[in-house]
Amino acid sequence: MRTFKDRYYLALKQVSKIANSTLSLRKIFDSIAKNITKAMQANGCCVFLLDHKKEYLIIVGTYGLSDIYLRKGPLNAHKSLPEILAGKVVTVANASKDKRIQHPQVAEEQRVHSILGAPILREGEIIGEIRVYTREPRQFSKADIDFINSIADVNTVLIERAKLQQLLARRYKVSEKKAKLAQAPQSPTASLRPTEFVHPSEEQFAKLLDFYCIEWLYEPRSFPLRWENNTVVEMFTPDFYLPGLNLYIELTTLQQPLITTKNRKLRLLKELYPEINIKLLAKNDFFKLLAKYGYGPQGKAKIEGVNQVLYTHTQIQRRIRTLARHISHDYASSERLVLVGVLKGVVCFMTDLMQHLSLPVIIDFMSISYYGGGDSQVVKITKDIDSSITGQHVLMIEDIVDTGMTLNYILSHFSAQNPASLRVCTLLDKRARRLANISLDYVGFEIPDEFVVGYGLDYKGEYRNLPFIGILQPELFKESKPQ
């Protein structure tokens, strides 16, 4: 009979061979979970990766666990064995009674008793977890912990290799069009997702969610709908869960039999689980749903020429409310505040900001133009503000600040009029482009060195009416002046 040392040695040898194979990433992780389960004489194993927000655990490999246990619900890494996020190996003696387990009732029903969890680290950062499950009470030994940590190290190498392969593919193997798409910002988890979608519409919907930076989990939970003799005989697994909206999504085609069946299941699900928020969507309903939550113009998905959404309408409004609270607090003792904006890009931001200020305000606008070119480009005021700001508290409102040269010129122009105070509030700060040494008192978001459009920002007069801020495809423009 083999000792645990023999089993662990053979498992590590087999895992190393699998890791160096040509199998897909998902199959490799499944095989690793299988080898861990057998070597540790356990009943199941899961390999997880953290989503890019480091909130939810996404299954990338599994073996030996029931579908009901795997689909018990979105697994929040901060609620389920949260010590693992701190880099600790965690043991659970009784899963059904441990407060660190997110779904103890399902653990009891599916006879999951003891659990061993270990972090997957990359350069000291937690990127995932491995968990081992047993049906019988188990006290995990130091050898068990050393073995699972070794396997976690192998997983880190696998993930790094996958990222390297993607990088090489981008550089050498993909077409020019695909290469441009591959250069679009992606979350680490999204780039390594091993998900195989059942239907093309699901993949299309996932890409749409990625474009709008909406976090999603694919088939994270199965809901038992019907039982016979205490055995589940019918379940329903929604296609997606959107954590930010706390919303389950089930997609459907226009085939009436499928719609009828899914509607029946949804009615039953809502009766059994009234707390669950779920929607049944046909393809044309995608865009109506996104429009409802402020993610894009109704009737269109991706906006032509925009690579990806940088900040959604919801994120922008939330940040504006925070800025307004700070400004209202700082100017609470002032009789009034003068808001000055430069047309036209600032209109959306200034309009929304002033609605949340809890003090009297006066608004004014100015227009500027540029002449000359290159380094000799000069700013000219084509329309000055209408009222005097002498002795007034002035807050300069900007949509975006990059080099700061234009803003520096305008601030000098206003300072000569002796205001009581002069501060700056900008929605976007492109600090990578800064040339002038200016102080920004209130900043919405610091953004990368990208050309952005939407929410008042334009390119050749277009895109201003987009409800979000997106990154324009670089091949579409050649900047004649700083943004």
Give all strands (DSSP E) within 155-253, no chain letters.
217-218, 223-228, 231-236, 240-242, 247-251
Q: Is 63 buried (19+), middle (13-18) or exposed (0-12) by CB count in 10 A?
A: buried
Options 3.30.200, 3.40.960, 2.60.120, 3.30.2420; CATH for 195-301 is 3.40.960
User: DSSP string covering 358-410, please?
Assistant: -S-EEEEEEEEEEES-GGG-EEEEEE--SS--TT-EEEEEEEEESS-HHHHHH
DSSP category for residue 457 = B
> Could you read off the pLDDT tens digit of each residue along the chain, which spans 483 residues?
678 788 999 999 988 888 888 777 788 889 999 999 999 999 999 999 988 778 888 888 899 998 888 888 888 999 999 999 999 999 999 999 999 999 898 999 899 999 999 999 988 889 999 999 999 999 999 999 999 999 999 888 887 776 655 544 444 433 443 343 334 334 334 444 545 677 778 887 887 787 777 778 888 888 889 888 878 888 898 999 888 778 899 988 666 677 788 888 999 999 999 989 998 887 667 666 666 665 555 434 456 778 788 888 888 999 999 999 999 999 999 889 999 999 999 999 999 999 999 999 999 999 998 765 555 567 788 999 998 999 999 999 999 999 888 899 999 999 999 999 999 999 999 998 888 889 999 999 999 888 999 999 998 888 898 888 988 877 666 554 556
Q: Report d(CA 274, CA 268) in Å as an integer.
A: 10
CA atoms within 13 A on the CB side of 403: 10
* Residue 414 CB neighbour total at 10 angstroms: 18
CATH topology for 4-177 is Beta-Lactamase (3.30.450)
List residues bridging with 453 in a β-sheet.
470
Amino acid sitting at position 465: N
Catalytic residue among 51, 210, 352, 402: 402
Residue 113 has a pLDDT of 95
Residue 60 has a pLDDT of 86
Q: Report d(CA 361, CA 394) in Å as an integer.
A: 10
List residues bridging with 412 in a β-sheet.
none
Q: Report d(CA 62, CA 425) in Å as an integer.
A: 50
Q: Which two tokens stand for residue 261?
A: 């069946």
Active site residue 402: yes
Domain boundaries, the chain: 4-177, 195-301, 313-476
Residue from 355, 383, 359 nearest 369 by CA: 383
DSSP category for residue 454 = B
Residue from 181, 172, 192 nearest 122 by CA: 192
Residue 294 has a pLDDT of 56
Between the CA of residue 282 and those of 205, 221, 253, 264, 430, what are the distances in Å? Answer: 11, 21, 6, 16, 40
Helix (H, G, I), strand (E, B) or coil at 440: coil
Give, rounded to a whole angstrom, the gap between the first and last alpha carbons of the chain.
72
Class of domain 313-476: alpha beta
